[in-house]
């Protein structure tokens, strides 16, 4: 200890450090939970995107089929 350091000031410094560490632990836990949630959301959005791409492809195939039938009907008349 230096001349300016008292047991009370050391105790206050330790308490302040404990408080800051507790805050950091809470922040870390919150960020981990947020990260987990975002990862789940990303997985969900990827799955939804895949379903939409598949639906879009099916619609494209159906439209092409309808157009081909219309062209066939047009040529037969």
How many separate domains does the chain show? 1
State both tokens at 41. 């959301």
User: Which region among 2-6, 16-20, 37-41, 56-60 has the lowest average model confidence (pLDDT)?
Assistant: 2-6
What is the rounded average pLDDT of the residues 32-37?
98
Residues 6+ apart with CB under 8 A from 1: 10
Q: Is the pTM of this model over 0.85?
A: no
- The boundaries of the domain holding residue 11 are 1-77
**To which H or E segment does residue 45 belong?**
helix 7-76
Name the residue with higher pLDDT: 4 or 64. Answer: 64
Whether residue 10 contacts residue 1, with contact meaning beta carbons closer than 8 Å, is answered with: yes
Can you read off the two tokens belonging to residue 22?
């507790």
pLDDT at 2 over 60: no
Q: What is the pLDDT of residue 76?
A: 85
Q: Is the pLDDT of residue 12 over 70?
A: yes
């Amino acid at each position: 200890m230096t001349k300016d350091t008292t047991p009370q000031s050391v105790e206050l410094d330790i308490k302040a450090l404990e408080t800051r560490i507790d805050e950091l632990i809470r922040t870390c836990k919150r960020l981990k939970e947020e990260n987990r949630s975002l990862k789940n959301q990303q997985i969900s959005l990827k799955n939804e995107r895949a379903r939409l791409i598949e639906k879009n492809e099916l619609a494209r195939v159906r439209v092409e089929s309808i157009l081909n039938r219309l062209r066939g009907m047009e040529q037969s008349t």
